[in-house]
Amino acid sequence: MKKGLFYAMLLAVITLMVSGCRTDWDGGYYRHEVLGYWEADYAVDGAGSYTLYSNEIDAYRFYDDGTGEYYYYDRYGYWTRVSLRWDDRGGRRLWVRYSDGAPSEYLDYDFDRYGNLLISRDNFHTYRGYRLR
């Protein structure tokens, strides 16, 4: 009798846990959290974190339909826009494909004490942090 009561309670707890789960969970983050305009906030290299000069700032804009734009200053100093397509491949990672033929890359989605963060990595020691504006 006690064993039957234990299993009944266990089943009830598991049912409550499963039914309380959110249904918009998509690959390690809530997809709507990455929508919007993300601007470079800082960069990190082997020597540590540093502030970006205004002509070094770049940005991403993500739309719900899997499209977006990448903005950067070109070599002449003009603010340039490139169309992109993005999707998530699971975890906390966004895959980005640029329309101008630049190599595809991934952005890691994370957070720190200041809020949500996108990270673009050149390698393990060099990366940029982007904040939602």
Q: Which of 33, 23, 22 is nearest to 94 (CA)?
A: 33
**What DSSP letter does each residue of 35-103 carry, written as one string?**
-EEEEEEEEEETTEEEPPPGGG--EEEE-TTSEEEEEEE-TTS-EEEEEEEEEE-STTEEEEEETTSPP
Instruction: Assess whether pLDDT exceeds 50 at residue 12.
Output: yes
Instruction: Assess whether pLDDT exceeds 50 at residue 91.
Output: yes
List domains and CATH numbers for the chain: 29-132 (2.40.128.280)
Question: Across residues 59-88, what is the average pLDDT?
Answer: 96
In the chain, the amino acid numbered 115 is G
What's the pLDDT score for residue 17?
56
Please count the other Cβ atoms lying within 10 Å of the Cβ belonging to residue 62.
22
Confidence band of 9 (pLDDT split at 50, 70, 90): low
CB 92 within 8 A of CB 108: yes
List, for residues 17-56, the tens digit of each pLDDT value: 544 444 444 445 577 889 999 999 999 998 889 999 999 9
What's the pLDDT score for residue 24?
42
Question: Across residues 55-68, what is the average pLDDT?
Answer: 95
